[in-house]
Amino acid sequence: MSLPVQKNDRITVHVEDLTHDGAGVAKIDGYPLFIAGALPGETVEVHVMKTLKSYGFAKLMEIITPSEHRVAPPCHVFDECGGCQVQHLSYEGQLKWKQQMVKNSMERIAKLPHVPVHPVKGMDNPWRYRNKSQIPFGLQDGRVVAGFYQPRSHEIANTDICIIQTEEADHILRDMKIELGRLGITPYNEKTHQGMLRHVVIRKGRATGEIMVVLITKKKKFPQRDETIEIIKKILPEVTSIVQNVNTEKTNVIFGEETFTLYGKDVIEDRIGDVRFEISARSFYQVNPEQTEVLYQQALEYAQLTGTETVIDAYCGIGSISLFLAKQAKQVMGVEIVPQAIEDAKRNAEINEIKNTYFEAGAAEVVIPKWYKDGIKADVLVVDPPRKGCDEALLQTILKQKPKRIVYVSCNPATLARDLMILEDGGYETKEVQPVDMFPQTTHVECVAWLELNS
């Protein structure tokens, strides 16, 4: 069967949608063409670069009719860097597109076109929101570079500024390049496994202003360590903690197993609402705490707690949602497969003097049935799974246990919709979905769904 377009064709198309990585989607007789830089609603002229059996790729040559939401991206490396995908779409346009993306998932995957999907809760200022930056360093033409990786590669888009991260991270990004060259510290090379400095991670407590800088090195000892500590203190006089993490492996995984403090405290502190969190170099902590509070308040609203409920928090992580819910529940039981996260959850409960929580390490689909046998049954179940969605065994466990209310927090509308369809078939009704924009300038969107058990 011949394709409706061929390689090297130059054609005019209408863009209908965006992919998860921000490419425009046009269809020719149902055949999708992916066009980097094109936006929904635009008529564009493209050069077909590659055709496969089910889809093709084209290069944007000319915008004939631009989208009403097209803007000039303010970042000078937007076209090179893979960190943001939709800076060329106005923030109003981003929120509208994200709402429509969630609606499409609900209609096409979950088969729930009647379920309300509310407008996305966005930010007043959708810039400088990231409280954590992981900056790779490298060498290009003999000079030290730093920035963020180009799309689908580990080539660094060299820059001094990233306008979605903190200004303190920019200072490190800009000044450390100069100082590394002066000290003769060689950045790590993934291909040759040579060099010393792999990444610099900067974390900042939004509520407290405390700052941690993490040096990720190939070896524990390097001769310029003391000078490097003094340089960081000079760049950021307000720094609270300087930590070294050692990763000796030939890998593109950022962190290694060994971590120790070079200066200041072992942890920094932040707050979401009135809940305090201690954050170590490797702790999981949401990168946009302002919107995390919005997300958790939405989960709390859907949970409809009166103080008499037992809540089970599957995928509880470091206990962040659990601690939010505990103040209005009888008890909250959290389960998480990562033992270190459970230790963090217990410590966070302790520093907040929250005594009606219990955390256990293990797979939710194993631990929750064990609790059930012990007489512990959830009135409200909260799930906040990874992008792949809930484990199939957990979904079957939920359908057997039948909590009367489920609050599903999701970072992937497609897997949310898939899981909602399973839960609906098992006797639940999805009442509504509230998207929250945790990552402005990107194609990601978080959602909170409210489900009730049918009587």
Q: Are 278 and 269 in contact (CB under 8 A)?
A: yes
Nearest to 137 by CA among 177, 104, 86, 166: 177
If one counts every other C-beta atom within 10 angstroms of the C-beta of residue 113, the result is 11
E strands, 247-292, where? 258-264, 268-272, 275-279
Distance CA 78, CA 140 (A): 19
Distance CA 400, CA 383 (A): 16
Question: Does 411 participate in catalysis according to the annotation?
Answer: yes
Q: Are 444 and 86 in contact (CB under 8 A)?
A: no
Distance CA 418, CA 415 (A): 5
Which phi and psi angles does 266 have, rounded to 5°?
Answer: -75, -25
42, 273, 283, 301, 396 from 319: Cα distances, Å: 44, 14, 12, 18, 24
Q: Are 291 and 123 in contact (CB under 8 A)?
A: yes
Q: Which of 162, 316, 411, 447 is an active site residue? A: 411
The residues annotated with a catalytic role in the active site are 411
